[in-house]
Structure formats: structure tokens, C-alpha cells
Chain A
Amino acid sequence: MREMMEGSSAVAESVALCRPKVVCAYPITPQTHIVERLARLHAEGRLDAGYVLAESEFTAASVVLGASATGARAYTASSSQGLLLMTEVIFNIAGMRLPVVMTVANRAVSAPINIWNDQQDSMSLRDCGWIQMYAEDVQEACDMHLQAFRIAESLNIPVMVCMDGYILTHATEPVDLPSAGEADSYLPPFEPRFHLTPTDPMTLGAMAGPDAYMEVRMLLHRSMQQAAGTIRQAAVDFHEMFGRYAGAQLDTYHADDAEVLLVSMGSLLGTMKDAVDELREEGHPVGIVKVRTIRPFPRSELHDALHRARAVGVVEKDISLGLEGILCSEIRSAFCGAAETPGISSFVAGLGGRDIRKEQIKEIALGLLSDNTCRVEVTGLDHEVLWRAHEEE
């Protein structure tokens, strides 16, 4: 039954439906409503889990690490500075093959300090060994958490569910949540492959020297590369059970005959779809490829989805300073060695919560229709401010 719900509340309810045994987090805007709602569910006896109030994000990540190693389904949530404070533990959780699930309420990274949305925080952690999924709307964010636990536990790889701060966490949208029974039939109880117990004492987190380290890392790399099937199955099974499908690693929109394809992740896709609807009405052959997981990176799927277009515009809310948008660089790698390559351009937009309007998206698309030359652009800048700062320098 569809119900109007705030994104954070809906996600918290979805997390509760996943029956985590340990929840631990530290509050940070704009993640707060998620952990507040979970605290309330716990207080009301509707979340049968240990709920730990950590003294930092670093500890929150460490607590779920310990809980997961003990065989408990474990969940945390963070954002921006908090996610970066967790970084050392984030790498460790993946290296130890612990199937933790975390929500990232995407937010800009300081300095300057800014609490509004972009995706710099999680994108900066794409190499940490976690599967990273990006939700387009509140419904997908909710559904993604059930899928995330299933994927994490079947592969022993942790999963980050990334949802845009404010735009999704604080938006009220109609949401259809499964019943507890339905959720249980999709996500069975956690059966850990290994856990800390005196009946079978094992050493976890041993030191690996130059003779063993690379092999251990390559096992994780290989599992990531082979995760595509599990991610797809989670989406297909979900579709079968609940009738909703938002893509596996990719999804497309008006892509088949498109000469220009726009690529993005997260909530921007909603604006993009509106822009493409209007462009299509005006007769422009423009479509969209949605990237749902940046890790594992769907390289061949992206190649297949994009190679027929003349131009590809990657619009993203992050930047590798000194290079270009991060996703754009990675998409270029999908065409390494290809005979025919579309013009692939990077459009960085919406940093620190700057609004991205439909008109901007249409401008980008129309620009690519008339000129497919590869370029790197930053859209929505106040050039007068930049010019003045430049003068002062």
C-alpha cells in the first residue's frame, strides 16, 4: 500500500524490515532523521536489535565491524565528514569480508563546510572495496536496502546504499513498503560463513606480508568483478516478488535510438527524465543511462548501452579536482580499445547543493546534439564571482 513518507523515515522502516541485529551510528546532517527514526523504532520495541550510540563515526563503523564478525546482521548510516572519518574502518570492513550495509546520505565535503547535497563523499570512497549503489528516488532507496543485505551476505562484500541528502532524505514521496512477512521471504536470516565463537576459534584480521597480501586483495577484487550476477538476481527476484524494478547495475530511458545519451546517478535522474521527455516531444533523439552501481563498475554493460550514441554527457555531482567528473573518467575507460567511441564529455554540476535545473540539462543535451566534441564543463557557475577572485589573485 502506498503511503506518503519522508525519505529518511521510509528508509529507516525499510532497514527495520531487514531485521538487523546491531545498529550503530553517529548523527550527522542530513543522515539524522534515519537514525532518529531507528532509535524510535527501537524504543517502541519495533526494532529487535542492539542499538548502540557511538561517540564518533569511527566507532560506529568499528562497532558494526565487530558485530558483523560475531555473526550479527549489522547496519550503520553516515554522510560527508562522518563517512570520511570512517574511512580507515570502511576499508577494513571490506578487507575482512564483512557484509555490513550502510546508508550514505550524500553531502558535500568540507572546506568550505556545507551541509547540502552532492556525491563527493561516497564517490571519494569508491576504491574501498564496498559495493556502491545509488538510488534515484525514495522508493528505490527503500527497495535497495533489502537488496543490499542480500547482495552483501551472499558475496561477503559490504554495500553502501547512497541516497542524495535532503533531495531524497528529506523529501516526502509516496512509498510502498513490503509487509514484514514479504520482507522476510525476500531476505532470509543472516547465515554467516564465519564468525567469532569459542566452539570454532579463528583468527580474523591477521597480518599478511608481501608473500600473501596481494592474493588476499585480488580475491576481493575478483569477487567484486563477479558480483554482477548477484546484483542482477537481487533485482530480478525483487521485481518478481514486489513488481518493482529500477535496474540492476544500469537502467536506461529512451536510450535505444538516442544520438545523445546523458549519464548520471541518484536523484538527478528524475530531473533528467523530465528534461528528456520535453526534448523528445520537441523531436530530439536524447536518452538516459542510469548508473546504479559504480562499484563494481559495469564496464561492458556501459559500453553496450552507450556505444551507438554520437555523444555521451556524464552529468555528476562530484569532481576529481585537477581532472574532471569521476564517473566520466571511468566511462571513458569502458571504451578503451573500442573501434568506435562516442564523444564523451564531463559535466560537473550541483556541488554543495547548487540547484540543477531542467533547463540546464536540456542545454547540455542540445549542446551535445550540435557538437559531440569531448569536453569538460562545470555548469551553473557564477562566472562573475570567479572572475573577481581571479582578478584579486
Chain B
Amino acid sequence: MAHEQVESRLMAYGHTACAGCGEAVAARTVAEAAGPDVIIANATGCLEVFTTRFPRSSWQVPWIHSLFENAASVASGIEVALKALGRAGEVKVIAQGGDGATADIGMGAISGMLERGHDILYVCYDTEVYSNTGYQRSGLTPLDALTTTSPAGAMSWGNATRKKDLPAIFAAHGAVYVATSTAGFPTDITRKVKKALSLAGPRYLQIHCPCVAGWGIDSSKGIRLARIAVNSGLYPIFEMEEGVLTRVRKIKPDELLPVVEYLKEQKRFSHLFKSPGGRDHIEAIQLAANSNIERYGLMT
């Protein structure tokens, strides 16, 4: 990579993320797409920890971290203050956090932010696990995934629940823009951040981010796996405006992959391949992917 390119980063290099971290790729892409005239409110989590160990910071934009569950509320305060001080035109506001901060502990705060109609883009970096605290299950952990709090055993096939459908929940709040994206396709992130920031009102972007340690994958494989998640239908990439589905990332027929190609590369799904009963579970995951393809029209 060219040196000048590195120097221009608004989320600078030198942070302490794991090699191959999908969240680092996604967050840097978001920052670059947003540009320097932005204030970021960050939830507690990996991104906060690996970018701001005192006395260093990766952030070349104004950035605040308060707590785990209140990034949306802090951003609400920032947005209202900017308006009250007559500075609203000069800067955009982004709130961001991981899947735990977004789907679980901070969801009420996001609900309030959306309901009040703040001019804020909320970005969820969905690693599908509490990465920062050591890979515990979150509301966005997929079915059957192993985490440190959803282990497999005689009585368990891993995580017993499906991913919470946050885009639908947040679209139902009246968010003007709701979209999913993936670290697998950074240009898609860039386009969506720019589009989201061109709109006014509450917006939500959920980005699928491979977590090397949490998923049990080789650090070189995250981006490829993120793309398979898309091309198998497991992680549909779409945009909703005013609650209506307006655009999806199509899966070309020759790109379509079975979910096995995604699952077999990850230790968090390894138990599904070790005993005969796993076949039914893989089949159920395949059916969920098929259902996504149908629901979002990913191939039509």
C-alpha cells in the first residue's frame, strides 16, 4: 500500500486490532467515507479498545467514548447540542458499536434515537459475538454458532437462537435509511456511508465483520468468508429507504455457494461436521439462507 494512502487515514494505523480483523477494515472504511467533518460517538468494545489506549489514539476526527450501552444517546446529545449552538451544518454525527452494544445492551438507546428522529448515522459492526470480552454469545450470533457462552455438548448444538432482525426492527421505527453491508466488500460500505450521510434523519448501517479469534478462522480468510456469507444468502446485503426495500446485492448464479462452504472454514461451526446429527443442522442453516434469497430477492 502506498505510504501517502496510509498517512491520510482518519482512523490511523498503529492500532492494536488482531491481524485480519474485519471490524478494523470496516471502521476505517466508514471513517474514510465519512470524511473529516464528522463527530463519532463510539460504544465500548473492541473498536474502542484497540484504537484508543491512552495516551495514543487512532482517531484523526473528533471522537468520544462514554459507555457500552449509550453511544446512540451520547450521539443524540451531540446532535442536539450542534443544532442549539448553530453548528449543525458544519459536521455530521455518527454513532457506532458492535453487535452486543447494538442488538443487546444498547438497543433501547438506539430505539430512542430513532424515534426522536435525530440526524445521526448509527453503524453496527456485526462480528456476531462479544469479541472484546472473549467471544460470548450476542443477539446477533447466528444459529448453532459456538461461543464461550453457547458451547456444544450432549444437550447443546451451540447458539440456540437465530439472529435478531435488527434492520427490520429499526426500519419499523421509521429510520429513513436502513442498510446492511460487509467488510467483504469495502466499496459497498463506502457507497452506503456516503449515501446515508447525504440523507437527513436517523439512519442505520449494519456491517458484517469477520472476527478472526471469535469465529476460529485463519487471519487471511476473513474477507473471503465474509464474501461467501453474502454469496450463500446467509448475510443478505440490502438497502431500505423509508421502510421499503430499494436495493439488494444480487448473487449471480455462478457465484452462488452452499452454506457448507461458509461453515466448514470456521471453528465455531466445526461441531456440525463431527457427528451425524450435524447434517440436519447444516440443512436448517441452508434453508435459512434459501429463505433470505427468497425474502430479499437476491437472485431474481
A-side residues, CB < 8 A to B, are 21-22, 24, 48-50, 52-56, 58-59, 62-72, 74, 88-89, 92, 96, 196-198, 200-209, 212
B260 in the interface, Cβ–Cβ < 8 Å? no
Chain A residues, CB < 8 A from B81: 21-22, 50, 66-68, 70-72, 74
Neighbouring B residues of A72 by C-beta, 8 Å: 80-81, 84-85
- Given A56-B108, A201-B61, A207-B53, CB of A62 within 8 Å of CB of B78: no
Task: Describe B's contact surface by its main secondary structure.
Answer: mixed
| B150 touches A (CB below 8 Å) | no
Partner of B48 from the list A55, A96, A196, A207 (CB cut-off 8 Å) is A207
Stretch at the interface among B67-75, B182-190, B218-226, B242-250: B67-75
Please tell me if the beta carbons of B77 and A204 are within 8 angstroms of each other in the complex: no
Contacting A at CB under 8 A, from B101-152, are 108-109, 111-112, 115-116
A52 to B111, alpha carbons, bound, how many Å? 14
Contact residue among B55, B67, B80 (Cβ-Cβ distance under 8 Å from A63): B80
Q: Which residues of B contact A69 (CB under 8 A)?
A: 64, 74, 77-78
Q: Is B83 part of the contact surface with A, judged by Cβ < 8 Å?
A: yes
- Asked if B270 is an interface residue, CB under 8 A from chain A, the answer is no
If A21-B81, A55-B108, A72-B81 touch, does A66 touch B41 (CB 8 Å cutoff)?
A: yes
B residues less than 8 Å from A202 (CB atoms): 62-63
Measured CA separation A207–B60 after assembly (Å): 17
The chain B residues found within 8 Å of chain A, CB to CB, are: 36-39, 41-42, 48-49, 52-55, 57, 59-67, 69-70, 73-78, 80-85, 87, 90-91, 108-109, 111-112, 115-116
19 A-B pairs whose Cβ atoms sit less than 8 Å apart in the complex: A21-B84, A22-B80, A55-B109, A55-B111, A58-B73, A58-B109, A62-B66, A67-B78, A67-B81, A68-B77, A69-B77, A70-B85, A72-B84, A92-B67, A198-B62, A198-B91, A201-B62, A201-B63, A207-B65
Q: Which residues of B contact A209 (CB under 8 A)?
A: 53-54
Contacts A54-B112, A206-B54 hold; do A65 and B74 have CB atoms under 8 A apart?
yes
What chain A residues lie within 8 Å of B66 (beta carbons)?
62, 65-66, 89, 92, 96, 205
Query: Is the pair B67, A62 in contact by a Cβ cutoff of 8 Å?
Result: yes
A198-B38, A198-B62 known, 16 other contacts, Cβ within 8 Å: A49-B84, A54-B73, A59-B112, A63-B76, A66-B77, A66-B78, A67-B77, A67-B81, A67-B84, A70-B39, A71-B81, A71-B85, A197-B62, A198-B36, A201-B36, A206-B54
